[in-house]
């Protein structure tokens, strides 16, 4: 499914850099803009935000401040669950573009298939935004297999990616198989399980073997599985450590060790989440 190439210094999955910067909770204007600019100047070329993060304007400032051509930046945002009626999708996406300071985004996600989400109405708006050139790719987020199947049947545009929580403690095996069958990329949010990966013995042993951090091991494991990761980071130390994961090559023994982790742990688990409403 994933055609990974090494154009420039960054591995890509069908044009999307396989390591990006997540910006959840980066709602301080100066810190957010600075983190985005620092990440881009460090080599990151994928930035992920959302209407619900209340920071699209600050992300846009960071992109503008960085000494990097905007055309080199893969930019993604998400439509909030309260904005998924047809007219609201159109209107709020255009507002997001204005806040980000761009004419189009590389990827627009349905943030969650809940609240005002309606398969036909919501996705019709995404199709129209795609046809009109406001978005380069259609994405979904927090979709379970049944939502994927419905969306594939409904959309005219291809689904490019499904963004979900994924890490060695939540490998999402079934969902990955469904996405692969439909040639949909998987993008992992909370790829470090919000710090839990630092406490897992198997991850620690692989990190010690390679003299790297547990964060790098987890990110390299995701890349090994063909999954794009968007870890959040603010300080330059964490940005640099995450970015260094691109140089870490896990061997078969490492992957087997990480695959053997006998724990399933989900950090993001609201009651209204699709997996809790089977």
**Which residues are marked as active site?**
53
Q: 160: Cβ–Cβ under 8 A, 6 or more apart, which residues?
A: 14, 16, 107, 137, 138, 139, 184, 185
Distance in angstroms (rounded) separating the CA atoms of residues 166 and 231: 11
Angstrom distance (rounded) from CA 135 to CA 69: 19
Residue 229 CA to its chain's centroid (Å): 6
Which residues, in sequence order, are bridge partners of residue 4? 13
H helical segments located in the chain: 29-42, 56-65, 86-100, 119-131, 145-154, 173-181, 201-210, 214-224, 236-243, 252-259
- The first and second tokens of residue 206, run together, are 């692989």
What is the token pair recorded at 162? 């499904």
Task: Say which DSSP state 158 is in.
Answer: P
Backbone dihedral angles phi then psi of residue 167, each to the nearest 5 degrees? -170, 175
Query: How far apart are the C-alpha atoms of 140 and 116, rounded to whole Å?
Result: 14
Distance of alpha carbon 138 from alpha carbon 228, whole angstroms? 16
Question: Phi and psi for 90 in degrees, rounded to 5?
Answer: -60, -50
């Amino acid at each position: 499914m994933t055609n990974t190439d090494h154009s420039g210094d960054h591995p890509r999955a069908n044009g999307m850099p396989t390591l990006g910067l997540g910006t959840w909770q980066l709602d301080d204007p100066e810190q957010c803009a600075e983190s985005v600019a620092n990440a881009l100047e460090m080599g990151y070329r994928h930035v992920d935000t959302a209407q619900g993060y209340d920071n699209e304007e600050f992300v846009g400032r960071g992109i503008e401040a960085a000494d990097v051509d905007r055309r080199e930046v893969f930019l993604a945002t998400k439509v909030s669950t309260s904005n998924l009626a047809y007219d609201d999708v159109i209107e709020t996406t255009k507002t997001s573009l204005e806040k980000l300071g761009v004419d189009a985004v590389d990827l627009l996600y349905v943030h969650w298939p809940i609240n005002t989400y309606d398969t036909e109405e919501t996705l019709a708006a995404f199709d129209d935004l795609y046809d009109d050139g406001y978005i380069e790719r259609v994405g979904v987020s927090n979709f379970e297999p049944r939502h994927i199947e419905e969306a594939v049947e409904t959309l005219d545009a291809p689904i490019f990616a499904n963004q979900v929580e994924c890490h060695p403690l939540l490998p999402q095996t079934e969902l990955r198989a469904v996405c692969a069958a439909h040639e949909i990329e998987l993008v992992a949010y909370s790829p470090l399980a919000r710090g839990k990966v630092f406490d897992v013995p198997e991850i620690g042993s692989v990190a010690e073997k390679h003299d790297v951090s547990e964060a790098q091991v987890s990110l390299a494991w995701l890349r090994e599985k063909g999954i794009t990761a968007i870890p959040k980071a603010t300080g330059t130390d964490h940005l640099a450590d995450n970015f260094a994961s691109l140089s870490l090559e896990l061997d078969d023994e490492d992957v087997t060790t990480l695959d053997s982790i006998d724990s399933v742990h989900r950090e993001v688990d609201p009651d209204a989440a699709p997996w809790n409403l089977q």
